[in-house]
């Protein structure tokens, strides 16, 4: 194993990790505000991937452009889902929320299987195999673009939550629900907006993911687990934590692929998960729960 190879894998892991981070960000935002754990998160990511795949094969739309309409569509879906279904579960016991969303996940992944079959599909961009040489280190162009786009979306989201009225109102709901209701915020609407934003993240992440990886329905449960692992490592409910967790997992899995074996990389992230749960259950950037 040479140094350039290690550097190459490190960079690749970081770039992939940022895209994972964007996906996990959606999960984190939904949990942080609505306090509902989206067990169908990976399924939404894979639907996003198929969406971008279809737009590319039928209309020749580049996934980096398809990202915008997909995010908008996913926002609407998330808004509707919260308003119609999840809203009835906000005050129900945790396990009922999980089971509802696990049921949704099963419907989604098997629906995808029925429509697309189990075969892997991929998007062949004109610049799919281009790369830069940074000295002796090779960097994939597509992966770098996708990581930049993920950072861009995450940055926009940070700005939204920091500088807009709606963003601040949503954060108020997360910090103190009773207080937010007392000052007259429309909680139901803000929750629905949040769920929409969370799914928009995952829709955009799906479009980016399809530019760097093949898509099959069976990715969905793996992505759900991945998003959870990232969010717990970074800190459930922390936005920066989701990106950091994505970076950590991306790098850890990439290194595990070359040091141990590609098929064992998931074990490394679960190992990290167990260590974090034991030593720092609030995650790297999470606040300690009371």
Partner 1 sequence: MRREHFLLGLLAAVLLALPLALDRYQTSVLVLVFLAAYMGQAWNVMMGFAGLLSLGHALYLGLGAYVSAALFVHFGLSPLLGLFVAVLICVGVAMAIGALSFQFRIEGVYFALLTIAFAEVARIGFDHLKWTGGAGGFFLSVAGSQGQWWNLRGGPLFFYYVSLAMAAAAFALCVALRRSKLGYQWLAVREDAEAARAVGIDVTRARMSAVVVSAAMSALGGVAHVFYYNNVFSAQIFDMSRSIDIMLAPIIGGIGTLFGPILGAFILIPLGEALIHATQALGINAPGAKAVFFGLALMIIIFLAPSGIWPSLRKRLGIGEGKP
Question: Which residues sit at the interface with partner 1, rule CB under 8 A?
Answer: 37, 85, 88, 92-96, 98-100, 102-111, 113-114, 117, 221, 225, 228-229, 232, 261, 263-264, 266-267, 270, 273-274, 277-278, 281
Return the SS3 of 114. Answer: helix
The distance of closest approach from Cβ of residue 138 to partner 1 in the complex, given in angstroms and rounded to an integer, is: 29
Local structure of residue 139 (DSSP, 8 states): E
Contact 29, 82 (CB under 8 A): no
The distance of closest approach from Cβ of residue 281 to partner 1 in the complex, given in angstroms and rounded to an integer, is: 6
The distance of closest approach from Cβ of residue 23 to partner 1 in the complex, given in angstroms and rounded to an integer, is: 16
CA dist 72 → 86, 197, 199, 270 (Å) = 20, 9, 9, 33
Q: Cβ closer to partner 1: 208 or 227?
A: 227
Contact 137, 8 (CB under 8 A): yes
Determine phi and psi for 60, rounding to 5 degrees. 60, 35
The distance of closest approach from Cβ of residue 209 to partner 1 in the complex, given in angstroms and rounded to an integer, is: 20
Q: Cβ closer to partner 1: 79 or 223?
A: 223
The distance of closest approach from Cβ of residue 2 to partner 1 in the complex, given in angstroms and rounded to an integer, is: 26
Produce one character per residue of 263-274: b if its CB has 16 or more CB atoms within 10 Å, e if not.
eebbebbeebbe
Q: Cβ closer to partner 1: 86 or 200?
A: 86
Instruction: Please name every residue paired with 215 in a beta bridge, in sequence order, or none if there are none.
Output: 121
Q: Cβ closer to partner 1: 93 or 126?
A: 93
Record the tokens describing residue 80, joined without a space.
Answer: 């509707």
The distance of closest approach from Cβ of residue 206 to partner 1 in the complex, given in angstroms and rounded to an integer, is: 20
Helices assigned H by DSSP within 213-238: 219-234
Strand (E) or helix (H) holding 137: strand 137-140
Q: Cβ closer to partner 1: 53 or 223?
A: 223
**What is the Cα–Cα distance from 183 to 177, expressed in whole angstroms?**
10
Q: Cβ closer to partner 1: 204 or 219?
A: 219
């Amino acid at each position: 194993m040479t140094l350039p190879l290690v550097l190459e894998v490190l960079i690749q892991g970081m770039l992939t990790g940022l895209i994972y981070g964007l996906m996990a960000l959606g999960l984190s935002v939904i949990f942080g505000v609505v306090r509902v754990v989206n067990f169908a998160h990976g399924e939404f990511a894979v639907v996003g991937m198929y969406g971008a795949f279809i737009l590319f094969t039928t209309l020749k739309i580049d996934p980096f452009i398809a990202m915008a309409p997909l995010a908008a569509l996913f926002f609407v879906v998330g808004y509707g889902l919260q308003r119609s279904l999840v809203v009835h579960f906000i005050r129900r016991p945790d396990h009922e929320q999980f089971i509802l969303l696990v049921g949704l996940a099963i419907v989604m992944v098997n629906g995808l299987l029925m429509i697309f079959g189990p075969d892997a599909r991929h998007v062949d961009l004109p610049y799919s195999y281009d790369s830069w040489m940074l000295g002796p280190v090779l960097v994939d162009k597509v992966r770098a673009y996708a990581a930049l786009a993920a950072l861009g979306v995450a940055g926009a989201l940070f700005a939204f939550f920091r500088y807009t009225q709606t963003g601040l109102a949503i954060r108020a709901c997360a910090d103190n629900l009773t207080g937010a209701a007392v000052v007259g915020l429309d909680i139901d609407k803000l929750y629905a907006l949040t769920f929409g934003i969370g799914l928009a993240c995952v829709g955009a992440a799906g479009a980016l993911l399809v530019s760097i990886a093949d898509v099959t329905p069976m990715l969905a449960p793996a992505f759900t687990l991945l998003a959870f692992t990232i969010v717990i490592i970074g800190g459930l409910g922390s936005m920066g934590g989701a990106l950091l967790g994505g970076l950590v997992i991306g790098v850890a899995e990439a290194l595990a692929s070359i040091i141990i074996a590609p098929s064992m990389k998931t074990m490394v992230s679960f190992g990290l998960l167990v260590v974090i749960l034991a030593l720092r259950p609030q995650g790297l950037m999470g606040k300690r729960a009371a």
